[in-house]
Structure 1
Amino acid sequence: MSTQLDHEANVAGRGLTGDAAASGGAASARVLSGRSARELLASDQAHLWHPYASTTTPTPVHLVRDANRTLLDLEWLDSEGTTHRQWVVDAMASWWCMLHGYRNPVIVEALRRQAAELPHVMFGGLTHEPAIELGEVLAELAPADLNRVFLADSGSVSVEVALKMARQYDIALTRRSGTGRSPRTKIAALFGAYHGDTLGAMSVSDPVTGMHAMYAGAIPQQPFLRRPPVWDAGSDEVDAWIDEVDDQLCAARDEVCAVIVEPILQGAGGMYAWSPAALAGLRRITRNLDMLLIADEIATGFGRTGQLWGCDHARVVPDIMTVGKAMTGGSLTQAAVIATEQVAGTISEYTGALMHGPTFMGNPLACAASLASIALLRHGGWREQVNRVNRAFIEHGRGLNEMPGVTQFRVCGASASLEFDQPVSIPVATSIGLEHGVWFRPFGRLVYSLPPYVCTDDEIARICAAMAAIAEATGQ
């Protein structure tokens, strides 16, 4: 399968074929039913509960009629009940996962073939070729020594599995040592972190500025390390942070078994790019204290920061790595936890099985999509694409830092964020974005973009112009 997909990736590249290519990506709209937008949106409001939303005072939602390459065909009602319909650039890549754009023909064909052969089978006691090939590919792409792949359903689930691995590994170490010491159960994390919405993932997400404060009494209490210095911080500042973290973890060495970080770029915690030298220092500390380092590469992996993995910026190899989001090219949900043989072998020898088994683990459809997406990355010039998007953000974002109310405009790889000195109104920012032909989903004080890698320079320019318009309205 992988050989065929590699060939197709070379042929199809980033693109579309036939009518879609001829129309520049905005293929003619495909109406899925005869129901009007008004009818569908009314039913949505009556029955569906959207993420991070209230059912009694819901924020407006927009109906997706079609999607192609970097564009969404949206239909919505304004405050006066007038219907609007427009093709817009998806600045969010559907929460950062749609790397190759919508309806990529290589991924679509991989899904079609797999659906006709084996859409799903349980992974307990069974296996299949797409999962085996995906395991081979991930082990090959992962940093050195990471070669044991556990397939999961979603990013949050992969973080849960990684946390369980870390704790079970420490139990195994205590049994191996025979010293009778108590297993270490705490996982240290960074302030500003976001690792998911399940209970374990919430416990290692920022306890102050995160989205989980109301669950504080129900989740484990974990130690947090001060947010590292920024990307280009001086050596004195980085060294001071490393010394502080060393002291904190030394003091907690009897209870902390692992540290989890989003390498180089904290995502939903504020789009914060931090120092590679700080990550390298943290890796040295965890080795010295016999703590595992867990790299959450769900958002940063597969090239988003300009390197294949965020850890690559610091030439760091973690003990456990989680990946997800872009793994299937945004077509289906799938994630993975990749561990060293040392971690996997110690757990297995001294504690037996890893006690986790999602129903849809190793789903063949998702595995086929992941293989197709990774083939596109490997043979479609992802590094050149990311560098091009990066340059376009820098060029077209000039002047955003000087706009009223803006505290900082940041670019990291194929991502850009505009931070304000006050919270951003989601409805206002969304409306202004649509006026400029761009779909945003702001949060907190940020309007940000992690677009598909196949965005053109003109589309990045449109995203930056929409950011400027939001800044102009917000800063008044």
Structure 2
Amino acid sequence: MSADLDRPAGTSGVGRAPAVPGPAHRPVPARSRSVGDLVHSDRQHLWHPYASTTTPATVHVVRDAEGAQLNLEWLDADGATHRGWVVDAMASWWCMLHGYRHPVIVEALERQAAELPHVMFGGLTHEPAIRLGELLAQLAPGDLNRVFLADSGSVSVEVALKMARQYDIALSRKQGGRRSPRTRIAALRGAYHGDTLGAMSVSDPDTGMHAMYAGAIPPQVFLPRPPVWDALPDEVTAWVDDATGRLRAVRDEVCAVIVEPVLQGAGGMYAWSPRALTALREVTHELGMLLIADEIATGFGRTGEMWGCDHAGVVPDIMTVGKSMTGGSLTQAAVIATEDVAHTVSEYTGALMHGPTFMGNPLACAASLASIGLLRDDGWLHGVATVHDAFVEQAARFAGAPGVRDFRVCGASATLEFFRNVDIALATRIGLEHGVWFRPFGRMVYSLPPYICSRDDIARICSAMSAIAEQMLPR
């Protein structure tokens, strides 16, 4: 059984169907190949993230997208076709802040593509990159003003780690070689910083996804996970004393500490105490270590402040940004450092040894300028507050629910955590039946939706979470 893509919600596929009305003004997109043909070819040729090729999970074909919605088509276990508009609770892995096909970003891309879609950044420059550097330096906290453009979040973390190591080598040379350079990095338990080798080395080695690569990555220092956001002062003090003692013990080895400010993302959607971050900034100053803030997921308003660091009133020495920088239209990231870091590295070691082919891509820079302009001009705080308040209003439905460990909200994000692992295929199917796209992992069904979501969108997301919780009841 199948249904037309523009058929009213509630009539698509078999069984319970998505109930999100699609954009009325959009034409029906052409379909040159059937969903069955596409899924078959996908399984023959593509390798999806965090997926097996021998036991592939169900894939859902995106036929169209607009605003906070995706138009999906997929096959169920019996081979029946389903299709319909659903709310994207994931904002395409947290990057689609303004929703899909925002006209300002689309126009910026079209204009830049007609003028200069790409040029190497080695020895050359261009106005979109220069304007983006100026804008990021204006928005970054404190005296962060030197921008290195990268092409993904993981790459920006790699650059930040290399920058910190090279900075300490430069300091050692500046001091006449009286001490050996410090080359290790300290990170937090529960952290996730990316999937490349350096980024893996500072992600949690036990609960993370990278245990099989342990022999290929440098061993780093890990501090205990900080207390929760609203922890009592005594809990924070105890953690600070412990972390300080651990860092003092390795002060001759560690050159920098890297954290996801106040919200750990793929490591568990864990909101932690801003007071702990304030104290960590103080101890890194005391020990002469750099503080690296990984704001790839937390930046551009996601936690309720422009930067996660703003909750603690701290300024890092190096900051990475990415994900939502282009409004989800292209891949781009950046590393922003203080002038002291940039000058010291350059003065005593020469060039920073990194140079991605697509660094400073003009198309991506144009998209970033458009996306950040929308954040500045349209009052991002209102959208984040609307999403946050709507999630808080829905929290009561999960209080004391059997099998539910916690429902927590931080800025424009919400996480429903269970006592046991989620059946991902089942949770995904239930979400779609309620008109919502989720990407659960571990014990969590979570949402970091576009900032343009309405209260009705958030109510729908939470209704879908509630339906999943019903299926997760202890047996």
Q: Structure 2 length as normaliser, TM-score?
A: 0.95
Which residue of the partner structure matches residue 45 of structure 2? 47
Q: Distance in 2 between matches of 1:286 and 1:308?
A: 23
Q: Distance in 2 between matches of 1:345 and 1:120?
A: 29
Kept in 2, the 8 Å contact 1:70–1:101? The answer is yes
Which residue of the partner structure matches residue 135 of structure 1? 133
Kept in 2, the 8 Å contact 1:189–1:224? The answer is yes
What per-residue deviation string (whole Å, max 9, x for no partner) do you get for residues 290-322 of structure 1? 000000000000000000000000000000000
Question: How far is the alpha carbon of 1:475 from its aligned partner?
Answer: 1.5
Task: Call closer, same or farther: CA 1:101–1:395 in 2, change over 3 Å.
Answer: same
2:339 counterpart of 1:337: no
Q: Distance in 2 between matches of 1:409 and 1:118?
A: 47
- Tell me the secondary structure at the aligned position of residue 107 of structure 2: helix
Q: Distance in 1 between matches of 2:254 and 2:33?
A: 55
Paired positions, count: 454
Kept in 2, the 8 Å contact 1:401–1:407? The answer is no
Q: Distance in 1 between matches of 2:120 and 2:147?
A: 17
Which residue of the partner structure matches residue 259 of structure 1? 257
Task: Call closer, same or farther: CA 1:397–1:26 in 2, change over 3 Å.
Answer: farther
- What does 1:76-475 align with in structure 2 at a 5 Å threshold? 76-475=74-473
The aligned amino acid for 2:302 is R
Kept in 2, the 8 Å contact 1:30–1:65? The answer is no
Question: How far is the alpha carbon of 1:401 from its aligned partner?
Answer: 3.0
What per-residue deviation string (whole Å, max 9, x for no partner) do you get for residues 25-67 of structure 1? 4654653541100001100011000000000001111000000
Q: 5+ residue gaps in structure 2?
A: 1-20
Q: Distance in 2 between matches of 1:354 and 1:430?
A: 44
Q: Distance in 2 between matches of 1:357 and 1:294?
A: 20
The aligned amino acid for 2:257 is V
Kept in 2, the 8 Å contact 1:297–1:321? The answer is yes
Q: Distance in 2 between matches of 1:455 and 1:333?
A: 23
The aligned amino acid for 2:345 is I
The aligned amino acid for 1:421 is F
Which residue of the partner structure matches residue 74 of structure 1? 72
Question: How far is the alpha carbon of 1:425 from its aligned partner?
Answer: 1.1
What per-residue deviation string (whole Å, max 9, x for no partner) do you get for residues 379-418 of structure 1? 1110011011000001023221321111000000000000
Q: Distance in 2 between matches of 1:101 and 1:437?
A: 16
- Tell me the secondary structure at the aligned position of residue 469 of structure 1: helix
Q: Distance in 2 between matches of 1:34 and 1:353?
A: 50
- Tell me the secondary structure at the aligned position of residue 402 of structure 1: coil
Q: Distance in 1 between matches of 2:427 and 2:346?
A: 50
The aligned amino acid for 2:286 is N
- Tell me the secondary structure at the aligned position of residue 397 of structure 1: helix
The aligned amino acid for 1:396 is Q
Q: Distance in 2 between matches of 1:459 and 1:70?
A: 9
Q: Distance in 2 between matches of 1:45 and 1:397?
A: 39
Please identify runs of 4+ aligned residues in structure 1 that moved more than 3 A.
Answer: 23-33
The aligned amino acid for 2:329 is S
The aligned amino acid for 1:265 is L
Q: Distance in 2 between matches of 1:106 and 1:296?
A: 28
Question: How far is the alpha carbon of 1:348 from its aligned partner?
Answer: 0.2
Q: 5+ residue gaps in structure 1?
A: 1-22
Kept in 1, the 8 Å contact 2:109–2:367? The answer is yes
Q: Distance in 1 between matches of 2:347 and 2:30?
A: 53
Q: Distance in 1 between matches of 2:408 and 2:362?
A: 38
Kept in 2, the 8 Å contact 1:151–1:362? The answer is yes
The aligned amino acid for 1:287 is H
Kept in 1, the 8 Å contact 2:320–2:333? The answer is yes
Q: Distance in 2 between matches of 1:25 and 1:380?
A: 22
Q: Distance in 1 between matches of 2:437 and 2:372?
A: 26
Query: What CA RMSD, in Å, does the superposition of the two structures yield over aligned residues?
Result: 1.0
Larger displacement relative to structure 2 (173-182 or 437-446): 173-182
Q: Distance in 2 between matches of 1:136 and 1:48?
A: 39
- Tell me the secondary structure at the aligned position of residue 398 of structure 1: helix
Which residue of the partner structure matches residue 62 of structure 1? 60
Q: Structure 1 length as normaliser, TM-score?
A: 0.94
Task: Call closer, same or farther: CA 1:37–1:29 in 2, change over 3 Å.
Answer: farther
Percent identity of the aligned residues? 75
The aligned amino acid for 1:35 is R
Kept in 1, the 8 Å contact 2:22–2:85? The answer is no
Q: Distance in 2 between matches of 1:29 and 1:55?
A: 35
Kept in 2, the 8 Å contact 1:29–1:66? The answer is no
Question: How far is the alpha carbon of 1:432 from its aligned partner?
Answer: 0.3
What per-residue deviation string (whole Å, max 9, x for no partner) do you get for residues 76-102 of structure 1? 000000000010000000000000000
Kept in 2, the 8 Å contact 1:26–1:71? The answer is no
Question: How far is the alpha carbon of 1:449 from its aligned partner?
Answer: 0.1
